[in-house]
Structure 1
Amino acid sequence: MRVRILGIGMGPGHLTREVAEALEGCDYAVAARKRRDDDLFALRRGVCDAFDLPLVEVPDPERDRDDPADYGAAVADWHRARVVAFERVLAERGGTAAFLVWGDPSLYDSTLRIVSAIAGRGNVPLDYDVLPGIGAPQLLAARHRIVLHEVGSPVHITPARRLREAVESGQDNLVVMLTGRHGLEGLEEWSLWWGANLGTDSEELVAGRVGDVLPRIEEARRRARERAGWVMDTALLRRNG
């Protein structure tokens, strides 16, 4: 059988022609559902409906999301449970399956690791490929009309839980994924370009000096959650001076 790992940005409006053509050639899509009112699962269903593609629901295994001391082990356990759950569906259905990845499969997403693990187990002989999508950092830069780095300089990409570590190591130009409320204390003089639910109807944007815009970000997060039921935010942080 064949698995196609497809970056879908934030939905139908972000699909590349290559991804759209791939969806037309699939027999079904597979997606984990975290809870009954999973809004992101519903958005995936909207993509599938646009291509008349059946969407197979897989209950998402439980995961410790409270930032446990051994974060790596918690995620590894979750991935192993997902491997078993998805493998069962692929074995039953065969054919060509699509995995729809928010943003781009190369950045803070587990789908590639899970499908690779399924292929490595050998219980379901399969071939898989990957097509890129529009990622949150690209959308953030476009919305704020900025370049993510200064001329000839690097940009460091990090999850929010590692932000403090990155700053202490001397990084001064950072794209922070799933920003939340992590680690902005002490960075009041830095410049920030922030966005939540980028590319959707609940999109929110804030830019300015960190110390000046934190209240605006809290309010924008609240509006985004009220409108969409969820918040995914990304920010560019740059040290001034």
Structure 2
Amino acid sequence: MRTIRVIGIGTGDPEQLTLQAVRALSEVDAVFVLDKGSEKADLVALRREICARHAKAGLRFVVAGDPERERRPADYAGTVEAWHAARASLLEALIADELGAGEVGAFLVWGDPALYDSTLRILERITARGRLAFACEVVPGISSVQVLAARHRIPLNRIGAPVHITTGRRLAAGLDPEADSTVVMLDADPRFDHLDPELTIYWGAYLGTRDEILRSGRLGTVGPEIRRVRAEARARHGWIMDTYLLRKPGAE
């Protein structure tokens, strides 16, 4: 039977791979990559670098264009559903064509496969169709949330207090009143005007890479600077991946 390994590779630093991830990759016959276009060529290049360091000789690097999806849809859930269905069809065909019986394939997932990544859901769809059988193994990785806290030299939570992880889309409705600390991911256009300016923000972009940018401070003070720096960086690179932590005023 074929085996598919979903391997977390951290946020951009090749040294963030765990020993388990290195060992898992060393046994892989083919790596599958969805190419998001020339603007994000750096993401494919990093995966090639990781494979050059840790994969066995003769590894096959299988690249296919990622299906397009609307970025600001009126029906977000419906758009994501259609996108996942398209991805599942594409990957099912790639695995069937490019991975032989008894071979091991891998998807190298940015951060950790369990946190805001669709790879496991896509593989579940393929399995549910019943046309292609494979074993699935998951290797955890270092997430952007962990790297953000490490770079700012802070614990993610305060003593006995909760942490809420959400998306920029959800943040538009406001913070969860029960959350002392809120991590925000996938925020395509951060806007802070509706939030308490006394919140503390810890922001990071391109975490773990040579282009890493960090800002922190009172939201009302550094919020406008973060928006400006973020826009400049996105224009310069053609893409950006960032995350941030919002913390209520209070004792640390």
Tell me which interval the TM-score lies in, with the shorter structure as reference length: over 0.9
SS at match of 1:65: coil
* Mapped partners of 1:91, 1:227: distance in 2: 39
In the TM superposition, 1:177-192 aligns within 5 A as 177-187=185-195, 188-192=197-201
Deviations 1:153-194 (A, max 9, x none): 110000111013351655342000133433411322211000
Residue 66 (structure 2) aligned to one of 39, 47, 60: 60
2:17 matches 1:15: yes
Q: Is the 2:162–2:179 Cα contact (8 Å) retained in structure 1? A: no
Is 1:82 the counterpart of 2:87 in the alignment? yes
Greater shift in the superposed pair: 51-60 or 198-207: 51-60
Structure 2 residue identity aligned to 1:162:
R
Partner of 2:46: 43
**Residues of 1 paired with 2:184 and 2:163: CA distance?**
10
Structure 1 unaligned residues grouped into runs of 5+: none
Kept in 2: contact 1:202–1:224 (CA 8 A): no
TM-superposed deviation, 1:221 = 1.8
Contact 1:197 1:233 (8 Å CA) reproduced: yes
Structure 1 stretch displaced more, 22-31 or 215-224: 215-224
The corresponding residue for 1:211 is 220
Asked whether the 8 Å contact 1:195–1:233 carries over to 2, the reply is: yes
Runs of 4+ aligned residues of structure 1 deviating over 6 Å after TM superposition are none
Show CA shifts across 1:115-136 (max 9, x none): 1111221211100010000001
Q: In percent, how many aligned pairs have the same letter?
A: 46
Q: Greater CA deviation, 186-195 or 45-54?
A: 45-54
Check whether the contact 2:234–2:240 (CA below 8 A) recurs between aligned residues: yes
Indicate if the aligned counterparts of 1:202 and 1:227 stay in contact, CA closer than 8 A.
no
**2:37 partner amino acid:** R
Rounded to whole Å, the distance in 1 between the matches of 2:47 and 2:90 is 18
Partner of 1:157: 165
Normalising by structure 2, what TM-score? Answer: 0.89
- 1:2: which partner in 2? 3
Contact 2:39 2:239 in 1 (8 A): no
Task: Identify the match of residue 120 of structure 1 among 116, 121, 128.
Answer: 128
SS in 1 for 2:142: coil
> Taking structure 1 as the reference length, what is the TM-score of the superposition?
0.93
1:38 CA drift (Å): 2.7
Offset from partner CA, 1:91-131 (integer Å, 9 cap, x none): 01222110010000010000000111112212111000100
Pairwise CA distance, 1:73 = 0.9
Q: CA RMSD in A?
A: 1.8
Q: Distance in 1 between matches of 2:185 and 2:36?
A: 20
**1:157 counterpart letter in structure 2:** I
